Structure 1
């Protein structure tokens, strides 16, 4: 029975690593031994779990069902050991987190640095990407994302709310004038994330949607910030992104009574049963960002 459970855990590691070689390195086992263990597991079950080729490894239909269930069993077993041991008092291990480039650089970098000093036994594998990662098959403990995942099977915990505001440089405003009403934004150069975009604005009681556009369509907040300081247009981003530029006078807020609709940031996990390292990380971010 013990070998059977151990082989289940090895199978989960192979799928998460998307191959035998990397999984073998992770578990500290020869590649040939790991392959033999999985083959024996398939024989014991009576079904093929993996399609093996020289280029890649894929789950069979039975393998996908088996992996989903085994992963939960392995995660719960690991969590049970952790809660019974000293790890609960001093979390340790590798924390794998996926987050967007912009949010991590502006908001999370100093917080992760502080968290790493509080918990020196935790190491970090940080993946900076805008894509929606697969929390079941990808080896992430948590993903930090704007907006909910849309997948009802995942757990989304709110950690903070960002309010987009309007900013422009003194140089841009001197050349083009400062808009006095939201409607005037349509005649200005505005940085957009999508072509033919519009901005939804509110002053707390009224709401309106203003069509905006300009010469620059971007998908990076850092570049929007930089272009705004170069007098190229008006930006709508959360105030934390522009805090340093506002403080040194390179940018200033315009239409201060108006702002975008609040955007909630979530910590997304595949399960509610979290190891101590992940739970502490989420709690820490929620506490600091609030």
Structure 2
């Protein structure tokens, strides 16, 4: 008898009625919970044994795709051909509580619960301009000189540019001549000689090598270090989304 094995009274008994004791009620409640969890575990395992399929809705900024994600997404499609992907490029922060995405790649640190953020990488831009610009404007010698020069701002980087040179730090509040949501437009306007832009070195490298762009204040780093996060909603992820997240994280973990 269960009561004898446990050494507790589970039922009140008389000649007419049998009722649960408080201990018996707690035991029943816990057993119901365990039974419910076992059903969920069975359903989860059964679901994962099925061939992965369905739609994963992804949002990222374009230059992240160009620099980092292209091969990863192609590899994911090859690994899981029955999972469809809907990829949107957005140069503005999305709100995953409103926007219909399963996964978004966002710049931190302002990613609030209940969203789940997984850090992937840190990006740091530097100052670049066309040599043509300095036929009409003086070359800046210090960050404060940027106040007097036309600057091109990528919207998500903002108008405050922290500049670092060793232990020195200067924050320059830019009054931009041009503000764009597209990093490609920032580069194009810099190439055309319209101003100084903060660009990632990988994006600017081909034009710098060809002499179309030059580093400005090369002794100073851009200072705008941004952490990039892979963000999902709260709770258990559907299989197709979890496979996508695992694929991206595994690829970043294996990078030198």
Determine if the TM-score, normalized by the shorter chain, exceeds 0.5: yes
Note the C-alpha offset of 1:193.
4.3
**If each structure's strand is expressed as a fraction of its own residues, which one has the higher value?**
2
Instruction: Give the Cα separation in 2 of the matches to 1:79 and 1:279.
Output: 18
| Structure 2: 5+ residue stretches without partners | 1-39
CA gap of 1:246–1:283, structure 2 versus 1, over 3 A, is same
- Structure 1 position 213, deviation (Å): 2.6
Cα 1:148–1:209 change in 2 (3 A) is closer
Q: Is the 8 A contact 2:122 2:225 kept in 1?
A: yes
SS, match of residue 143 in structure 1? strand
- Written as runs of structure 1 = structure 2, the 5 A alignment for 1:59-138 is 79-83=44-48, 85=49, 87=51, 92-129=53-90, 130-135=92-97, 138=99
Matched, 1:198 2:160: yes
TM-score by structure 1 length?
Answer: 0.62
- As a proportion of its length, which structure holds more helix? 1
Which structure has more relative contact order (CA 8 Å, sep 6+)? It is 2
Flag the structure with larger Rg. 2
Structure 2 CA distance for partners of 1:288 and 1:92, relative to 1, 3 Å: farther
| Kept after mapping to 1: 8 A contact 2:153/2:159 | yes
- Contact 1:191-1:213 at 8 Å conserved across structures: no
Given the two structures, how large is their TM-score scaled by the length of structure 2? Answer: 0.69
What root-mean-square deviation, in Å, do the aligned CA atoms of Structure 1 and Structure 2 show?
Answer: 3.0
Q: Distance in 1 between matches of 2:72 and 2:126?
A: 23
Alignment equivalent of 2:217, drawn from 250, 255, 280: 255
Question: 1:122–1:288: structure 2 CA closer, same or farther, 3 Å change rule?
Answer: farther
Compared CA separation, residues 284 and 246, structure 1 to 2 (3 A): farther
Extract unaligned runs of 5+ from structure 1. Answer: 1-74
Provide the residue aligned with 1:166 in structure 2: 127
